[in-house]
Structure formats: C-alpha cells, structure tokens
C-alpha cells in the first residue's frame, strides 16, 4: 500500500504545481486577501457560488495545497513507522518540511504583500516537493529493491554528470518561476504570445506608422489598452490593418489598480467600452451636482467604485481622502455611464470637462471625433475662456506625414459631425501632443500654450 500511496502523493503534487501555474498565468495571486481563511470563511466551507474570476483559481490552489500538505504529513508518518531505510525516511521529512515552509511563504505573501523573491521561493519549493515525492514513490516501488539491482563499479563521471544535469534543470525551473512572478514572460515580442499591453499613443502609432502589416503581428491575438482614453476609430484601424483585436480595461491607482476589464469573447466585447466590473467589485453612477443621487442605465454622471482592492486613503491627506472615499465608495473623478448590459463607458475626467454655455463638453469625445479625419495623426482638446465668461473648445492637431491641415477646412469638415456647442473655435497646428509616459495628454501644457497665444493677440 505504501508504494501506491507515495505515487498518489507525487501525482497530487503535480496537480498542485499545475494549480499554481493557473494562478500566476491568470494574475489571480492576490484575489483572496486573507489567509488561511478565504474572505473570513473556513477554507473548506467557502461557498462554491462565490468562486468566480480570480477567486476560483486562488481558492482552488489553496484547496489543492491543503490536500497535498495533509497527504505528505501522512506519508512522512507512514515512512517513519514502516520504512527501514533511514535515507528514505529522511526524504519524507524533507518533503514535509518543504511543503510547510512553502505554505507559510504563500500565506504571508498574501497577508503582507512581500517581495517577488518570496513568491519565487514559494514556487521553487513546490518543485522541490514534487522532486522529493516522486523520488519517494520511485524508491518505495516493488521493483526498487537493493537485492534486485546490479552492482556496478562507481563511475565519478556519471555521478558528476547527474549532479550537473539536476542543477541545470532546477536552475531553469527557478528562472521560469522568476519570469512568471516578475511579469517578464512577454519581454520577448517575437515568441508566440496572446496579449500585448499597450497604451493608446502606441496604438495610435501602430494605426498610422508606414510599413506595418499583419505578418509582423501574427503572434498577437489581443491588444489590451488602458491608462488613457482610446478613440474607437484608432482601435478599429488597428484591427483592420494588423488583425489585432483591441480591448480595454480601466482602473485607477486608488483601485489597486484595476476595476474593469473587457470580456475576451469577441461576441461580448464592446469597442467603445472599458468593459464590465471585475470580480468582487461594484459600481454605480451618481449625479454630478450632489454626488448622492444614483443614476440609471445610460445616464451620464461620476463613476463610483467599491471593492476589496480600494486604497485605505491618501498619505497624510485626510481631507482629500474624505472627498474621494465616501461610505465605502471611491468617487473616481471620471465621468461616464453604464448601459443595460453592465458595460461601462468613460466620457472624460470630471475636472477636464469644458463648460461651454450651459453644456459640459468632454475633450476625449471631441478628440475621438477629430481622429476620424483622414489627415489628423494626433490631437488634444482643451477649454479656453471666451468673452461670455465660459469656455470654448480649442483643438491642437498634428497632421499626418505628407498632409497639410487648414483651419477653415477643418471647421467645415466637422460642422456636420459636431453639435453646435461642441464646435472647435480655435485650431492650432502643431508637431506633437505633449503626453505623460502612460499616454495621458498634458492638458495644462496645451492650456498654457493656448493662453499664451491668446494673450499675444490681445
């Protein structure tokens, strides 16, 4: 019975490694914020209907790990009581010690968000446990008996080769764990991959750059865009030109950082939407005036988010914290709406809205429309003061290579594409739009440029 049980333990350890791989490959490592419980539940009593999204992978991993740990305890005790060979018993003790340390490292990483080195050690110990349990299963098998083996002269060369081979294989295992836990798995772009994580300016460059075709991106199935607004026309051009399906995600630093993600299934993706809320995350849209009245589907207001990934507050800024966090909800400062299907659409930042007469105009909406012009490569829109005490849209546009833009022609072109109050009142032809490294337009720089020109002409 011992050989069969040892083989069962080795197989269970292989399943544990597979479950751990699912956790890292799906980014679910911190989906459950407590340990050894799961959201306050005793691990084995956690409801099945709550095992969704990343929680499914992380909780499943914990269940498998607990089972393997129990089996190794039984194996170590069995070897201690029934195995006459001391070195085999020591293998059992080593496996038990390794699985205990591995479990502790995984738990404290969840509790205290420790460095990648701890996660790498956690993954590497799983491989050690697998090697130990596999060895135990081999040496306790009926065919492995001292009397049955042919005694050969000691071969130092063969011994050294075995040691070096083992070291090389295990080094490769550690390097693989390091790549998974540091996010370096997609650092080499010409090896078959599924995703490319891109900010909107990069997608805009891919849509406009000459000399690109589908053959250069044949290994990329999706491009995930985040960090800044993405014009739908840019996404469409990338899809049509390069065959890359573009999806969006959304979040803030305050949401640690993600709260929304577009479904991967083509039939469920919405090009203009940032997707639906992620697991264990809630959202609502409130009115802009009071921030207290919850709006219905399709009504535009401020996006509010609630979930376990929210920040605790801003460092040494209690007033800012009180403004952003109210009754457990994070007021994002982003304007948008949610449709009947639960898909979220971001219009713009609340503080960047242009107050034009009695209307609020979203710069990102205007920019998305401007980018549909065949001769505009990039653009940025800001509000500038007008004589009535309000603001009017002012556009900075970058022409495509080899094209010339004329302000009067642009006004005529967009006259039928924009509502009257959204009409661009001032056009500025420029070489580049200032942006942050993540792709957000530096509107204060554009406003300063517009103000300087306005001052110079008065």
pLDDT digit string, tens, across residues 207-238: 888 888 888 887 788 888 988 888 888 899 99
Please report the beta strands in 229-309, taking only residues with DSSP state E, as ranges in sequence order: 245-251, 258-261, 276-277, 282-286, 301-306
Residue 71 has pLDDT above 90, yes or no: yes
Residue with tokens 């005793």: 42
- In the prediction, which pLDDT does 161 show? 85
Confidence of residue 31 (pLDDT cuts 50, 70, 90): confident
**Higher model confidence: residue 427 or residue 358?**
427
CATH 3.30.2140.20 fits 353-456, yes or no: no
**Higher model confidence: residue 380 or residue 156?**
380
Residue 330 has pLDDT above 90, yes or no: yes
Residue 192 has pLDDT above 60, yes or no: no
- In the prediction, which pLDDT does 146 show? 52
- In the prediction, which pLDDT does 20 show? 83
CA distance 413 to 411: 6
Mean pLDDT of 24-46: 81
Contacts of 208 (CB under 8 A, 6+ apart): 377, 400
- In the prediction, which pLDDT does 396 show? 95
Mean pLDDT of 35-39: 83
Which range has the top average pLDDT, 70-84, 350-364, 428-442?
Answer: 70-84
CA distance 339 to 52: 23
Q: What is the maximum alpha-carbon separation in the chain? A: 104
Nearest 5°: the CA angle 269, 267, 190 is 65
Which of 171, 121, 156, 132 lies closest to 6 in space, CA to CA?
Answer: 132
CA distance 227 to 248: 10
CA of 350: how far to CAs of 103, 161, 231, 336, 451, in Å? Answer: 45, 66, 18, 9, 21
CA distance 363 to 418: 12
- In the prediction, which pLDDT does 147 show? 47
- In the prediction, which pLDDT does 365 show? 86
CA of 343: how far to CAs of 258, 277, 367, in Å? Answer: 15, 8, 22
Mean pLDDT of 229-248: 89
- In the prediction, which pLDDT does 226 show? 87
- In the prediction, which pLDDT does 189 show? 47
CATH 2.30.38.10 residue ranges of the chain are: 279-350
Mean pLDDT of 431-451: 87
pLDDT digit string, tens, across residues 257-293: 889 999 888 888 888 899 999 989 999 999 988 889 9
Burial 328-341, CB ≥16 within 10 A → b, else e: ebbbbebbbbbeee
Confidence of residue 389 (pLDDT cuts 50, 70, 90): low
Q: Give the range among 161-175, 249-263, 320-334, 409-423 with minimum mean pLDDT.
A: 161-175
Mean pLDDT of 296-314: 93
CA distance 425 to 180: 51
- In the prediction, which pLDDT does 185 show? 54
- In the prediction, which pLDDT does 150 show? 56
SS3 (DSSP) at 377: strand
- In the prediction, which pLDDT does 191 show? 46
CATH 2.30.38.10 fits 279-350, yes or no: yes
SS3 (DSSP) at 359: strand
Q: Which letter does DSSP use for residue 328 in this model?
A: T
Residue 388 has pLDDT above 90, yes or no: no
pTM (2 decimals)?
A: 0.52
In the predicted model, what is the mean pLDDT of the chain?
A: 85
Mean pLDDT of 120-135: 85
Residue 140 has pLDDT above 50, yes or no: yes
pLDDT digit string, tens, across residues 340-383: 999 999 988 888 888 887 777 888 889 989 999 999 999 999 98
């Amino acid at each position: 019975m011992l050989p069969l049980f040892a083989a069962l333990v080795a197989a269970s350890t292989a399943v544990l490694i597979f479950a751990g791989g699912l956790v890292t490959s799906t980014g679910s490592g911190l989906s459950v914020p407590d340990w050894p419980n799961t959201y306050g539940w005793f691990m084995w009593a956690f409801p099945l209907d709550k095992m969704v999204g990343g929680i499914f992978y992380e909780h499943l991993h914990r269940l498998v790990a607990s089972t393997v740990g129990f089996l190794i305890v039984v194996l170590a005790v069995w070897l201690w009581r029934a195995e006459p060979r001391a070195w085999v018993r020591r293998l059992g003790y080593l496996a038990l010690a390794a699985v205990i340390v591995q479990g502790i490292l995984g738990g404290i990483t969840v509790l205290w968000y420790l460095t990648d080195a701890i996660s790498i050690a956690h993954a590497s110990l799983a491989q050690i446990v697998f090697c130990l349990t596999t060895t135990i299963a081999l040496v306790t098998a009926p065919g492995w008996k001292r009397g049955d083996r042919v005694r050969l002269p000691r071969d130092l060369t063969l011994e050294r080769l075995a040691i070096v081979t083992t070291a090389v294989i295990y080094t490769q295992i550690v390097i693989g764990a390091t790549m998974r836990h540091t996010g370096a798995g997609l650092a080499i772009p010409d090896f078959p991959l599924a995703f490319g994580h891109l900010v909107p300016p990069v997608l805009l460059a891919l849509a406009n750059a000459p000399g690109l075709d589908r053959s250069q991106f044949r290994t990329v199935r999706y491009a995930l865009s985040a960090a800044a607004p993405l014009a739908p026309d840019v996404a469409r051009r990338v899809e049509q030109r390069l065959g890359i399906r573009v999806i969006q995600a959304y979040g803030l630093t305050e949401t640690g950082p993600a709260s929304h993600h577009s479904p991967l299934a083509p039939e469920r993706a919405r090009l203009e939407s940032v997707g639906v809320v992620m697991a264990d995350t809630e959202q609502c849209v409130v009115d802009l005036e009071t921030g207290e009245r919850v709006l219905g589907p399709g009504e535009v207001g401020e996006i509010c988010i609630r979930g376990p990934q929210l920040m605790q507050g801003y460092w040494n800024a209690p007033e800012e914290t009180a403004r952003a966090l109210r009754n457990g909800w994070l007021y994002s400062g982003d304007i948008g709406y949610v449709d009947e299907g639960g898909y979220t659409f971001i219009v713009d930042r609340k503080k960047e809205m242009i107050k034009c007469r009695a209307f609020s105009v979203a710069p990102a909406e205007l920019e998305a429309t401007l980018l549909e012009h065949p001769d505009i490569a990039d653009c940025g829109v800001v509000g500038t003061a007008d004589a009535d005490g309000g603001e009017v849209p002012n556009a900075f546009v970058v022409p495509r290579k080899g094209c010339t833009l004329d302000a009067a022609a642009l006004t005529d072109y967009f006259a039928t594409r924009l509502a009257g109050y959204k009409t661009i009142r001032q056009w500025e032809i420029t070489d580049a739009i200032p942006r942050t490294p993540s792709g957000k337009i530096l509107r204060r720089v554009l406003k300063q440029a517009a103000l300087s020109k306005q001052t110079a002409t008065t």
